[in-house]
Amino acid sequence: MKETIYIFSNGRLRRKDNSLIFETEDGQKKFMPIENIKEIYLFGEADINTKALNFLAQKEIVLHHFNYYGYYSGSFYPREHYNSGYMILKQAEYYINEAERLFIAKKFIEGASKNSLKILKYYNRRGKDLTKQINEIERLIIELKNYDTVDKAMAIEGQIKQAYYQGLDIIVNSDEFRFEERSKRPPKNRINALISFSNSMIYTYCLSEIYKTHLDPRIGYLHTTNFRRFTLNLDVAEIFKPVIGDRTILSLLNKGIIKPNDFEDKLEGVYLKETGRKKFLQAMEERLKQTIKHSKLNRQVSYRRLIRLELYKLEKHLIGEEEYEPFVMDW
């Protein structure tokens, strides 16, 4: 089975025969047979030449790069091998048509909101009083149906997220990990640092999965398609942030695996240290490999595979084969 490669050290990535070699600054070498690689994540400062990039492109491997603070910098996205002019035209057609775009955008919000609701209800059943947040989100999901523009729908999405995030402090219940309010670039506290890092990872997982489909990542529906490089991965990620990311965060905090010393204060913000990123990514990989019984397919499917299946559903919607319904956790 192909693996995701995470590289934290500084060094040089190069090709050697049918393998990639990462050579650290102190001369250590790690050989990575190309046939075993799904995608590569670079968290350190790495030199890479065109020979290595051409090799990645030839083998259809996406490379994602993050800066020193764990912020997503960009991706090497090889020439699409599943290019479909027809699908690009359908994506553009559904984007330009305001009613069609609104339908898809609302479905992304609906899926994200219902998955957030599932998490709150799970902890509510286990003694955390989240009734207020649950009732508010249920009310807003109903209200979402009444809005006739994407901007108005996104305003409701913001209110839903605010209610959801208010529940995090009740769930975690720790003075060392207080959410308080959402803050980005820079995150102002530890939970915000975890959420920002988690969201960035899910954006890139979705981008890698889009690469394996006929869809073009530059045409999204919830997030406005403009001069930004990619938007569709941001849309699909909304559904999986609670399912994969937030559940991983809550598990790490409740088990005491992530600790205050896994963070550092810098540039008026709070960031995960390398120790914290490694702990998080190990747990995230375990989550992605976990399987659930897919009710429609009637078989076990990994969480990583669920992302691809979501994209296939969107493709079917765009070609008029089957109306899109977002994935919602069934527990």
The answer to whether residue 168 scores a pLDDT higher than 70 is yes
- The pTM for the full model equals 0.92
3-state secondary structure of 231: coil
Given this model, what pLDDT does residue 331 score? 67
Tell me the C-alpha distance between 265 and 160, whole Å: 29
Q: Tokens in use for 180?
A: 């308080």
Residues in the chain: 331
24 in helix, strand or coil? Answer: strand
Q: Would you say 307 and 215 are in contact if contact means Cβ atoms under 8 Å apart?
A: no
Measured CA to CA, the distance from residue 228 to residue 257 in angstroms comes to: 36
User: In which band, very low, low, confident or very high, does the pLDDT at 209 lie, cut at 50, 70 and 90?
Assistant: very high
Q: Is the pLDDT of residue 155 over 90?
A: yes
Position with higher pLDDT, 201 vs 17: 201
- The closest of 46, 50, 18 to 32, measured between CA atoms, is 18
Q: What is the DSSP letter of 272?
A: E
Angle at alpha carbon of residue 172, lines to 171 and 177, rounded to 5°:
145
Segment 71-96 shows an average pLDDT of 88
Per-residue model confidence as pLDDT tens digits over 9-36 = 999 999 988 889 999 988 889 988 888 8
Put the strands of the sheet holding 19-24 in their side by side order. Answer: 29-33, 19-24, 11-16, 46-48
Mean pLDDT of the chain: 92
Q: What is the pLDDT of residues 264-302, one digit of tens each?
A: 998 788 999 999 999 999 999 999 999 988 878 788 999
When pLDDT is averaged across residues 217-222 and rounded to a whole number, the result is 94
**Lowest mean pLDDT across 17-26, 60-69, 78-87:** 78-87
Nearest CA among 175, 180, 229, 171 for reference residue 203: 229
Spell out the alpha helix ranges (H) of 241-291: 247-254, 274-289
Between the CA of residue 91 and those of 125, 134, 136, 234, 313, what are the distances in Å? 41, 34, 33, 15, 13
Tens digits of residue pLDDT in 120-154:
999 999 999 999 999 999 999 999 989 889 999 99
pLDDT value, residue 228? 66
pLDDT at res. 227: 66
Q: Are the C-beta atoms of residues 97 and 87 closer than 8 Å to each other?
A: no
